[in-house]
Amino acid sequence: MYVGFSSSTGSALTSHYVLGWSFRANGEAQALALSRLPKLPQIGKKETSKALTIGLPWVVLFIISMLIWSAVYVMRRKRKFAEVLEDWERDYGPHRFNYKDLYIATKGFRNQELLGTGGFGRVYRGILPTSNIEIAVKRVSHESRQGMREFVAEILSIGRLRHHNIVSLLGYCRRKGELLLVYDYMPNGSLDKYLYKQPTVTLNWRQRFRVIKGVASGLLYLHEGWEQVVIHRDIKASNILLDADLNGRLGDFGLARLYDHGTDPQTTHAAGTLGYLAPEHVRTGKATRSTDVFAFGVFLLEVACGRRPIENRDVEGSILVDWVFSCWEKGAILEARDPKLGAEFVEEEMELVLKLGLMCSHPEPLMRPSTRQVLHYLEGDIPTPELSSIGSRLTFDHHEGFDDLAMPPSSMDKAFQLSSVADSLLSGGR
């Protein structure tokens, strides 16, 4: 209701607007003219921002694209780190590493972390992200499913070997068509680096002799000290790794074969490195403890002489074993020593190592000593063997009292001893 007063008459002129009707002073009602009503502010929808109208679809499209990209990234990442796990492997869970951890440890297997490359894969240095332990990771490719299964089973068996002169296999990881093996990291690398690749950095004789005895101890553990016989099949300087204290450790079991004590090893095929292969191994394909001893003999000469088993030269002496044998025949076996040693070596030890190298690399298997006998010689438990020859054949005398130091000999050892004694009786000492 609206009420108004006139200033001239003092009478009230009242106009009432109720429910669309107008009342005058005489009491008569008159229809209300809607056009005369005061206009109220119009209440309507706010204008939509032009920027929001244009930008909102793009924002939604961007969010959807990001979700799709994230899903694809996660799926690809899962495939990238996908691993293979079969029922027969579940029992070896504690030895299995996560591929992602190994990938991070080696910084994505960068070339800067590459330690070396061999016939069985590439080896990378790594640091485990959780424990900060240094490791060496070997990536082995193997496309055959059955072959991979056998190889993994064999490696896991070797993974239970524990000896201070054997590089420990810490575990493994399987991913698609490749196998990753995780070893203890050896900070000083392989022995051949000090013999050939860094002529200005050499090991002195004391260090070399300690490496030789350590490798012999590890080899005896493989041949006699474990639950099965382990034939390494690839003993050489490049497979001997040096720890922080320059102790020698036998590594790289990619060619190793296992069989039970008291049984004959199966004939497979000749495998190893040229210059270290025993003649009978090449002929028959059967790897035995004696073929390992042959390779160890070549290794002894390699360390003492600082020369490779076979050198690319047309002159006399390209075959290391033949060259050392010729030095012995002349009565000057010490001339075969590594000239880089100068006069800094122990003559008795050098002579022992060179003679043992010739004995172990004898072409006749029965003429080679056992690993246990070799270690007794190196430890000084028995005197240095006296070599002799019949024509071009090399023999050595059997010392009394040796049986008290050794375990009961095998049939091979007995045959070796009888042959050695017979030949020594027929020939004179040198």
Reference 121, options 18, 278, 237, 254; nearest CA is: 254
Long-range contacts of range 16-23, CB-CB < 8 Å, 24 or more positions apart?
A: none
Across the strands, what pairs with 21? 18, 31
Active-site residue flag, 381? no
**What does the angle CA 199 – CA 203 – CA 208 come to, to the nearest 5 degrees?**
130
Is 289 in contact with 371 (CB distance < 8 Å)? yes
The alpha carbon dihedral of 248, 139, 253, 174 has a sign of positive
Is 353 in contact with 305 (CB distance < 8 Å)? no
| DSSP states along 262-297 | TSPPPB----S-TTS--HHHHHH-B--HHHHHHHHH
Residue 230's identity, in one-letter code, is V
Reference 239, options 208, 223, 265, 215; nearest CA is: 215
- What DSSP state is assigned to residue 365? G
C-alpha of 236 from chain center? 18
The residues, any chain, with a CB within 8 Å of residue 116's CB and separated by 6 or more, are 122, 123, 190
Structure token digits, residue 81: 């780190």
Cα(415)–Cα(407) distance, integer angstroms: 15
Catalytic residue among 101, 234, 252, 338: 234
Phi first, then psi: give them for residue 201, nearest 5 degrees.
-115, 100
Cα(245)–Cα(281) distance, integer angstroms: 35
- What DSSP state is assigned to residue 310? B
Is 293 in contact with 360 (CB distance < 8 Å)? yes
Is 183 in contact with 156 (CB distance < 8 Å)? no
Reference 116, options 108, 126, 124; nearest CA is: 124
Cα(396)–Cα(21) distance, integer angstroms: 142
Is 233 in contact with 291 (CB distance < 8 Å)? yes
The catalytic residue positions are 234
